[in-house]
Amino acid sequence: MLENKVCIVTGAASGIGLAIAETFINNRAKVVMADINEVKLKEEAKGIGAIYFVTDLSKQEYCKNLVDYTVEKYSKVDILVNVAGIQTVCPIEDFPEDKWKFMMDLMLTAPFLLTKYVWPYMKEQGWGRIINMGSIHGLIASEYKVAYISAKHGLGGLTKSSAVEGGKYGITCNMICPSYVRTPLVDKQIADQAKTHGIPEDKVVSDIMLTKAFVKKLLEPKDIGDVAKFLCSETGDCITGSMFTIDCGWTAS
Protein backbone atom coordinates (compact mmCIF):
# COMPACT_ATOMS: atom_id res chain seq x y z
CA MET A 1 0.00 0.00 0.00
CA LEU A 2 3.00 2.30 0.47
CA GLU A 3 4.98 1.11 -2.53
CA ASN A 4 7.09 3.95 -3.97
CA LYS A 5 5.63 6.53 -1.59
CA VAL A 6 8.31 8.98 -0.46
CA CYS A 7 8.27 9.55 3.29
CA ILE A 8 10.11 11.89 5.63
CA VAL A 9 10.28 10.66 9.22
CA THR A 10 11.87 12.91 11.85
CA GLY A 11 13.26 11.73 15.16
CA ALA A 12 14.02 8.51 13.30
CA ALA A 13 17.22 7.34 15.00
CA SER A 14 15.36 5.53 17.79
CA GLY A 15 12.03 4.78 19.41
CA ILE A 16 8.80 5.68 17.65
CA GLY A 17 10.46 7.40 14.68
CA LEU A 18 12.62 4.36 13.98
CA ALA A 19 9.64 2.01 14.28
CA ILE A 20 7.62 4.08 11.80
CA ALA A 21 10.53 4.26 9.36
CA GLU A 22 11.00 0.50 9.57
CA THR A 23 7.28 -0.17 9.09
CA PHE A 24 7.21 2.03 6.00
CA ILE A 25 10.34 0.42 4.56
CA ASN A 26 8.81 -3.01 5.10
CA ASN A 27 5.84 -1.81 3.07
CA ARG A 28 8.11 -0.77 0.18
CA ALA A 29 8.13 2.96 0.76
CA LYS A 30 11.16 5.17 0.19
CA VAL A 31 12.11 6.71 3.52
CA VAL A 32 14.30 9.67 4.46
CA MET A 33 15.18 9.34 8.14
CA ALA A 34 16.07 12.60 9.90
CA ASP A 35 17.66 13.05 13.32
CA ILE A 36 20.38 15.00 15.10
CA ASN A 37 22.10 11.85 16.39
CA GLU A 38 24.43 11.20 13.47
CA VAL A 39 26.04 7.96 14.64
CA LYS A 40 22.79 6.27 15.63
CA LEU A 41 20.95 7.57 12.58
CA LYS A 42 23.53 6.23 10.13
CA GLU A 43 23.56 2.85 11.83
CA GLU A 44 19.78 2.45 11.87
CA ALA A 45 19.25 3.76 8.34
CA LYS A 46 21.82 1.34 6.98
CA GLY A 47 20.21 -1.49 8.93
CA ILE A 48 16.74 -1.03 7.41
CA GLY A 49 17.71 0.22 3.95
CA ALA A 50 16.64 3.85 4.25
CA ILE A 51 18.56 7.02 3.50
CA TYR A 52 19.32 9.55 6.22
CA PHE A 53 19.67 13.27 6.74
CA VAL A 54 21.46 14.56 9.84
CA THR A 55 19.89 17.80 11.00
CA ASP A 56 18.88 20.02 13.91
CA LEU A 57 15.21 20.73 13.29
CA SER A 58 15.09 23.47 15.90
CA LYS A 59 16.68 25.64 13.17
CA GLN A 60 14.38 26.93 10.42
CA GLU A 61 16.87 26.62 7.58
CA TYR A 62 17.53 22.97 8.39
CA CYS A 63 13.83 22.17 8.10
CA LYS A 64 13.88 23.60 4.58
CA ASN A 65 17.09 21.73 3.80
CA LEU A 66 15.50 18.42 4.76
CA VAL A 67 12.58 18.89 2.38
CA ASP A 68 14.86 20.18 -0.39
CA TYR A 69 17.13 17.15 0.02
CA THR A 70 14.18 14.76 -0.21
CA VAL A 71 12.80 16.41 -3.33
CA GLU A 72 16.22 16.47 -4.98
CA LYS A 73 16.56 12.76 -4.26
CA TYR A 74 13.06 11.58 -5.18
CA SER A 75 11.35 14.54 -6.94
CA LYS A 76 8.39 14.48 -4.53
CA VAL A 77 7.20 14.06 -0.95
CA ASP A 78 4.13 11.93 -0.23
CA ILE A 79 4.21 11.48 3.54
CA LEU A 80 5.57 13.57 6.40
CA VAL A 81 5.76 12.13 9.91
CA ASN A 82 6.78 14.63 12.60
CA VAL A 83 8.18 12.66 15.54
CA ALA A 84 11.27 14.55 16.77
CA GLY A 85 10.96 15.71 20.36
CA ILE A 86 12.37 15.68 23.86
CA GLN A 87 10.92 15.58 27.36
CA THR A 88 11.85 17.54 30.48
CA VAL A 89 10.27 16.82 33.87
CA CYS A 90 10.42 19.96 35.99
CA PRO A 91 8.10 22.22 38.02
CA ILE A 92 7.01 25.42 36.25
CA GLU A 93 8.86 27.71 38.66
CA ASP A 94 12.15 25.95 37.94
CA PHE A 95 11.70 25.42 34.20
CA PRO A 96 14.58 27.02 32.22
CA GLU A 97 13.45 29.64 29.70
CA ASP A 98 16.00 28.52 27.11
CA LYS A 99 14.76 24.92 27.36
CA TRP A 100 11.18 26.16 26.80
CA LYS A 101 12.21 27.96 23.61
CA PHE A 102 14.16 24.97 22.31
CA MET A 103 11.27 22.59 22.91
CA MET A 104 8.80 24.91 21.15
CA ASP A 105 11.18 25.30 18.20
CA LEU A 106 11.69 21.55 17.87
CA MET A 107 8.25 20.19 18.71
CA LEU A 108 5.86 22.84 17.36
CA THR A 109 7.62 25.25 15.01
CA ALA A 110 9.51 22.51 13.14
CA PRO A 111 6.34 20.50 12.34
CA PHE A 112 4.73 23.73 11.08
CA LEU A 113 7.72 24.56 8.90
CA LEU A 114 8.01 21.04 7.50
CA THR A 115 4.27 21.02 6.78
CA LYS A 116 4.62 24.37 5.02
CA TYR A 117 7.55 23.16 2.91
CA VAL A 118 6.02 19.82 1.82
CA TRP A 119 2.60 21.35 1.19
CA PRO A 120 3.19 22.59 -2.41
CA TYR A 121 4.40 19.14 -3.53
CA MET A 122 1.45 17.34 -1.93
CA LYS A 123 -0.98 19.93 -3.28
CA GLU A 124 0.38 19.66 -6.81
CA GLN A 125 0.06 15.86 -6.89
CA GLY A 126 -3.34 15.89 -5.19
CA TRP A 127 -2.31 13.48 -2.43
CA GLY A 128 -0.45 13.77 0.83
CA ARG A 129 -0.37 12.37 4.34
CA ILE A 130 0.91 14.31 7.35
CA ILE A 131 1.14 12.56 10.70
CA ASN A 132 2.08 14.48 13.82
CA MET A 133 3.38 12.48 16.75
CA GLY A 134 1.35 13.73 19.64
CA SER A 135 0.75 12.19 23.04
CA ILE A 136 -2.03 11.65 25.49
CA HIS A 137 -0.53 14.86 26.89
CA GLY A 138 -1.71 16.63 23.76
CA LEU A 139 -5.24 16.09 25.11
CA ILE A 140 -4.88 16.27 28.89
CA ALA A 141 -2.30 17.58 31.33
CA SER A 142 -0.09 16.09 34.02
CA GLU A 143 2.16 17.89 36.44
CA TYR A 144 5.81 18.85 35.79
CA LYS A 145 5.66 18.71 31.96
CA VAL A 146 4.66 22.25 31.09
CA ALA A 147 6.69 22.66 27.87
CA TYR A 148 5.99 19.17 26.50
CA ILE A 149 2.25 19.47 27.15
CA SER A 150 2.08 22.99 25.71
CA ALA A 151 3.89 21.91 22.55
CA LYS A 152 1.68 18.85 22.08
CA HIS A 153 -1.52 20.84 22.60
CA GLY A 154 -0.27 23.33 20.01
CA LEU A 155 0.50 20.45 17.66
CA GLY A 156 -3.13 19.42 17.91
CA GLY A 157 -4.16 22.85 16.65
CA LEU A 158 -1.70 22.61 13.77
CA THR A 159 -3.09 19.18 12.93
CA LYS A 160 -6.68 20.37 12.77
CA SER A 161 -5.85 23.53 10.81
CA SER A 162 -3.83 21.51 8.29
CA ALA A 163 -6.68 19.03 7.92
CA VAL A 164 -9.20 21.81 7.25
CA GLU A 165 -7.02 23.41 4.58
CA GLY A 166 -5.76 20.17 3.06
CA GLY A 167 -8.98 18.30 2.45
CA LYS A 168 -9.76 19.75 -0.96
CA TYR A 169 -6.23 18.92 -2.13
CA GLY A 170 -6.26 15.29 -1.02
CA ILE A 171 -4.00 16.04 1.94
CA THR A 172 -4.92 14.51 5.29
CA CYS A 173 -3.37 15.39 8.64
CA ASN A 174 -3.77 13.46 11.87
CA MET A 175 -2.11 13.33 15.28
CA ILE A 176 -1.36 10.03 17.03
CA CYS A 177 -1.85 10.35 20.79
CA PRO A 178 -0.41 7.38 22.68
CA SER A 179 0.02 6.83 26.38
CA TYR A 180 3.53 5.92 27.52
CA VAL A 181 5.56 4.02 24.91
CA ARG A 182 8.61 1.91 25.71
CA THR A 183 11.25 4.20 24.16
CA PRO A 184 14.56 5.82 25.17
CA LEU A 185 12.63 9.07 25.69
CA VAL A 186 10.47 7.40 28.34
CA ASP A 187 13.40 5.54 29.90
CA LYS A 188 15.25 8.84 30.36
CA GLN A 189 12.31 10.27 32.33
CA ILE A 190 12.42 7.70 35.08
CA ALA A 191 15.13 9.29 37.22
CA ASP A 192 13.60 12.78 36.89
CA GLN A 193 10.12 11.47 37.64
CA ALA A 194 11.39 9.67 40.74
CA LYS A 195 13.18 12.76 42.00
CA THR A 196 10.31 15.14 41.28
CA HIS A 197 7.64 12.91 42.81
CA GLY A 198 9.83 11.72 45.68
CA ILE A 199 9.48 7.99 44.94
CA PRO A 200 11.95 5.17 44.11
CA GLU A 201 12.84 4.74 40.44
CA ASP A 202 11.43 1.22 40.38
CA LYS A 203 7.99 2.64 41.24
CA VAL A 204 7.81 5.21 38.42
CA VAL A 205 6.30 2.94 35.76
CA SER A 206 3.57 1.49 38.02
CA ASP A 207 2.82 4.53 40.17
CA ILE A 208 3.21 7.36 37.62
CA MET A 209 3.18 6.12 34.04
CA LEU A 210 0.49 3.46 34.30
CA THR A 211 -1.60 4.71 37.19
CA LYS A 212 -4.26 6.40 34.98
CA ALA A 213 -4.38 3.65 32.36
CA PHE A 214 -6.89 0.82 32.57
CA VAL A 215 -4.72 -1.53 30.52
CA LYS A 216 -1.58 -1.66 32.64
CA LYS A 217 1.13 -1.85 30.01
CA LEU A 218 3.58 0.31 28.13
CA LEU A 219 2.92 0.52 24.43
CA GLU A 220 5.60 -0.70 22.01
CA PRO A 221 7.02 1.49 19.20
CA LYS A 222 5.76 -1.01 16.61
CA ASP A 223 2.20 -0.31 17.77
CA ILE A 224 2.62 3.29 16.66
CA GLY A 225 4.24 2.23 13.37
CA ASP A 226 1.20 0.11 12.54
CA VAL A 227 -1.18 3.01 13.23
CA ALA A 228 0.88 5.34 11.04
CA LYS A 229 0.70 2.77 8.23
CA PHE A 230 -3.07 2.54 8.65
CA LEU A 231 -3.48 6.32 8.42
CA CYS A 232 -1.55 6.29 5.14
CA SER A 233 -3.60 3.44 3.67
CA GLU A 234 -6.71 3.66 1.48
CA THR A 235 -8.76 2.88 4.59
CA GLY A 236 -7.44 6.09 6.10
CA ASP A 237 -8.41 8.30 3.17
CA CYS A 238 -11.29 9.93 5.04
CA ILE A 239 -9.59 10.15 8.42
CA THR A 240 -8.29 13.66 8.89
CA GLY A 241 -8.08 16.17 11.71
CA SER A 242 -8.27 13.32 14.21
CA MET A 243 -6.56 12.96 17.55
CA PHE A 244 -5.99 9.21 17.19
CA THR A 245 -5.73 7.89 20.73
CA ILE A 246 -3.92 4.71 21.74
CA ASP A 247 -4.02 5.31 25.46
CA CYS A 248 -4.93 2.04 27.19
CA GLY A 249 -8.20 3.63 28.27
CA TRP A 250 -6.61 6.67 29.92
CA THR A 251 -9.18 9.16 28.58
CA ALA A 252 -12.19 6.84 28.95
CA SER A 253 -13.07 8.09 32.42
**φ, ψ for residue 234 (rounded to 5)?**
-60, -35
Among the listed residues 69, 148, 169, 180, the single catalytic one is 148
Which string of DSSP letters, residue by residue, matches 185-243? HHHTHHHHHHHHHT--GGGHIIIIISTT-SS-S-B-HHHHHHHHHHHTSGGGTT--S-E
Name which of 152, 143, 137 is nearest 250 in CA terms: 137
**How is residue 109 annotated by DSSP?**
I
The answer to whether 180 is a known catalytic residue is no
Cα 156 vs. chain centroid, distance in angstroms? 12
Q: Are 123 and 146 in contact (CB under 8 A)?
A: no
* Catalytic residue numbers, as ranges: 148
